[in-house]
Amino acid sequence: MTEYKETPSAAAELPADPPMDGRKVLRPRQCAKVRRVGMFTMGIALILSGIVALIYLFYPSLDLVSLLKYAPALLVLLGVEILVCGFVFRGDVIKYDFLSMFVCFALICACVAAAAVYPLLSYYGPQLQITEETLSSEACSVYQQALLNEDDVRSVWADVSLLPTTAQEDVSLSSLRPGDTVRISVELLSEYPSKEAFCEKAEEILRRFDSAQPQADQVRIVSGDSRYRLDVSSPFETNFTSVQLEKIVSEEE
């Protein structure tokens, strides 16, 4: 935007020769242009925002997140406007329109925040929880099938925890990646008279799990009276014999 501001000219600063009749001589003053920096960029930002909003009303499938990533281009446009006014219009008075700059900055911050919220919701939002619950249910069915003919099993519970990046893909039990965790918990019916008897049953259950996919990262087996509890925390421990399992079994008095 161009304004005009009166500034004293160089001729007006020189002393004037007194006229013959003693009257004062008025010198003409020159008008300097005042250019407001920031209004052009704000206008472009508002026009583009309005166009995108209108398009989204008629085409809701528009990928707004991809468009919002280009919001920092307004900073480039604002910098170009400042440089043009500073070098092309050197003789003019430059006035920065801080209101326009603030509006542009607010639009950029809002766009960047909106673009950042979507990935966060994708990583840690409801989709991750829904995927984990679905895979946990499938894993539970797999391990229940592995213990189908086992009469001493009261319940089987499975929990699948995914890395946030895994949830972004079309994931299944067969496509779990390193870092994804499968936990299995088995509750038995019987009360075992000794640690040796409990570990023999635990070894039998672990051998049944060898053919189940995916392989469990952690397995917990609890006796019917909760006196004995076995926590296997690595695939290596799942191959322990009953004698080795006795060393890692927890016993409540």
83 shares its domain with 36: yes
Q: Is 138 exposed, middle or buried (0-12, 13-18, 19+ CB in 10 A)?
A: middle
Same domain for 119 and 166, yes or no, is no
Total number of domains constituting the chain:
2
The pLDDT score that the predictor gives to residue 137 is: 93
Query: What does the pLDDT read at residue 220?
Result: 94
Report yes or no on 105 lying in a domain: yes
- Give pLDDT, residue 46: 80
User: Using CA atoms, how far apart are residues 134 and 196, in angstroms rounded to an integer?
Assistant: 37
Query: What is the Cα gyration radius of the chain?
Result: 38
Examine the domain organization and report whether 203 and 138 are in the same domain: yes
Residue 129 lies in a domain: no
Q: Are residues 88 and 35 located together in one domain of the fold?
A: yes
Mean pLDDT on 63-67: 72
147-161 pLDDT, tens digit per residue, is 988 888 999 999 998
Domain final residue, candidates 75, 106, 124: 124
Three-state DSSP class for 36?
strand
Question: Looking at residue 89, what is its pLDDT?
Answer: 73
Angle at 223 between CA 222 and CA 226, to 5 degrees: 80
Picking from 124, 158, 182, the residue at the C-terminal end of a domain is: 124
Last residue of a domain, one of 62, 97, 124: 124
The domain containing residue 175 runs over which residues? 134-251
User: Cα separation of 243 and 224, whole Å?
Assistant: 21
Q: What pLDDT, on the 0 to 100 scale, is given for residue 10?
A: 46
Instruction: Select, from the ranges 29-33, 95-99, 170-174, the one with the highest average predicted confidence (pLDDT).
Output: 170-174
The answer to whether residue 91 sits within a structural domain is yes
Cα–Cα distance for residue pair 213/53, rounded to 1 Å: 48
| Cα separations in angstroms, 22 against 14, 35, 62 | 18, 41, 78
- In angstroms, the CA 110 to CA 71 distance is 9
| pLDDT tens-digit series, residues 10-43 | 444 445 555 555 565 555 555 557 667 777 888 8
**Which residue in this structure is represented by tokens 């920096």?**
37
What is the pTM (predicted TM-score) of this model?
0.55
What CATH number did the domain enclosing 235 receive? 3.30.300
